[in-house]
Structure 1
């Protein structure tokens, strides 16, 4: 059956290419099948462009195009024990525009491991300290977001790397220590292959991004003002 090129979506062939690449992760095979890779990547670009269009209806995005959002499939193996040269997933990210809009959007398409994510992967020490100071002063606004029905049904819980003990300068028995220990602040929603391949995935991915806004708005206010809220 011919693909409907007018409908930006993820196709089974996009998964099939990754499955085959996973079994033949070497430069010889990849170079021999580069035309197929380029064809499949074009469909991912089309999807990313459509997703950017949806996202731009409710947020201001700096990323100029779907193509520019995509990460290269070539792995950096210099400091990795895994020396396979190619990633076995499609992925991309969108940067929010202006210094007043913090947080970023990310998508990853991989057989059995697809997800939509957003948040703060590696906040600077200054930003992390500012976030923790605000949480320590009053954790209620953040808890309200994390306990909301929208957040729980979409993401479940806040994710990210955490300290095992209290961060420096904060008491171990602080009432918000569960939040203060976070070093990353990630919102992640996993999708089954069936969900990714459905015609509704584009809209569902965008709704997932949109559900991040209360969290992003909170973080943006914290990180774009001083401790006096100015």
Structure 2
């Protein structure tokens, strides 16, 4: 579980997103960072039991920095008001599909994963895999537990069919997606309960066939 002080730090940061406040409250940040990284280590340990491909991951390869790159952003506030970690074979910069946990108080925390805005060659392979093996993909995303947790696969969608496909393709709704992501909400209360790690790992376990399918496309 996470400490309530970690959520409080992020709430306070949202109200005081400036360097002076952050510097003054650096001890609170370091405590929150340590707390979140402890959670990430527990998730790595649990994931390695679910998926041997996750063995060898280290915390620093999973956790995203709280410092924003504001060079190309209209929002010049210097810090993210969330903490996030990606669990992907090869680390967070890997092109493979993976799992994700996002902590953002105020009803914005979630667990999920998939492929977020993959490079065109990767997306092309994934589309081919969905087209060739659509029945299998349907079984995965249509499973009762999958739908109960995630609803449907999300992502920005093209207006027209991608090159090489037609609108009457049975898989066209998925083939149009530019990302293939699923998420489920994690409440602030759930984030501070002893059951948090177990619940996130349950979410990740339900996602395993989905992640495996997406990654099979890149292995071919």
Normalization by structure 1: what TM-score? 0.87
Q: Partner residue of 1:28?
A: 20
**Is contact 1:74-1:86 (8 Å) kept?**
yes
After alignment, is 64-73 or 14-23 more displaced?
A: 64-73
Q: After TM superposition, which residue ranges in structure 1, 4 or more long, deviate above 6 angstroms?
A: none
Q: Partner residue of 1:14?
A: 6
CA–CA separation in structure 2 for the residues paired with 1:22 and 1:102 = 32
1:92 equivalent in alignment to 2:64: no
Match of 1:83 among 76, 87, 108: 76
After alignment, is 165-174 or 112-121 more displaced?
A: 165-174
Unaligned stretches of 5+ residues in structure 1: 1-8, 226-230
- Residue 136 of structure 1: CA displacement? 2.8
Q: Partner residue of 2:145?
A: 150
**Deviation string for 1:4-63 (max 9, x for gaps)?**
xxxxx2111111111111111110111111111111211111111111111111112266
Greater radius of gyration (CA)? 1
Unaligned stretches of 5+ residues in structure 2: none
**Is contact 1:62-1:94 (8 Å) kept?**
no
1:129-140 alignment, distance < 5 Å: 129-140=124-135
CA–CA separation in structure 1 for the residues paired with 2:63 and 2:109 = 15
After alignment, is 25-34 or 128-137 more displaced?
A: 128-137
1:218 equivalent in alignment to 2:210: no
CA–CA separation in structure 2 for the residues paired with 1:171 and 1:64 = 40
CA–CA separation in structure 2 for the residues paired with 1:168 and 1:189 = 32
- Residue 155 of structure 1: CA displacement? 1.1
| TM-aligned CA distance change 1:63 to 1:184, over 3 Å | farther
| Count of matched residue pairs | 215
1:127 equivalent in alignment to 2:119: no
Q: Give the number of the structure whose residues are more often helix, by fraction.
A: 2
1:116 equivalent in alignment to 2:111: yes
After alignment, is 57-66 or 71-80 more displaced?
A: 57-66
CA–CA separation in structure 2 for the residues paired with 1:74 and 1:134 = 37
**Is contact 1:93-1:107 (8 Å) kept?**
yes
Normalization by structure 2: what TM-score? 0.91
- Residue 222 of structure 1: CA displacement? 2.6
CA–CA separation in structure 2 for the residues paired with 1:36 and 1:130 = 44
- Residue 97 of structure 1: CA displacement? 4.8
Q: CA RMSD in A?
A: 1.8
